[in-house]
Amino acid sequence: MAAKGKFDTPDIDPEQPSTILGGNDTIYVPDTPEIDVVLGATGEAKGNGGLDAYAQELLFNEELVEVMLHESTDTNAENPVFTACNGVTQYFFRGEVQAVRRKFVAILACAKEHNVTTPEYTGSDGVRAISIKRTSSLKYPFSIISDPNPRGPAWLKALLRSAT
Q: What is the 3-state secondary structure (H, E, C) of 107-153?
A: HHHHCEEEEEECCEEECCCCCEEECEEEEEEECCCEEEEECCCCCHH
Which pLDDT band holds residue 14 (cuts at 50, 70, 90)? confident
Does a structural domain hold residue 130? Answer: no
Of 68, 126, 117, 125, the C-alpha closest to 95 is 68
Q: Does a structural domain hold residue 45?
A: yes
Question: Which phi-psi region, left, alpha or beta, contains residue 25 (left: φ > 0; alpha: ψ -120 to 50)?
Answer: alpha
Q: Label residue 1 by pLDDT band (50, 70, 90).
A: very low
Whether pTM > 0.85 for this model: the answer is: no
CA atoms within 13 A on the CB side of 13: 4
Residue 83 located in a structural domain? yes
Q: Which residue has the higher pLDDT, 27 or 91?
A: 91
Range of the domain at 68: 7-16+35-111+140-161
Number of domains in the chain: 1
With beta carbons less than 8 A apart as the criterion, state whether 137 and 66 touch.
Answer: no
- Structural domain contains residue 84: yes
In-domain check, residue 80: yes
- Tens of pLDDT, residue by residue over 97-119, are 889 898 898 888 888 888 889 88
Residue 106 counted as domain residue: yes
Specify the 3-state DSSP secondary structure of 102: helix
In-domain check, residue 29: no
124 located within any domain? no
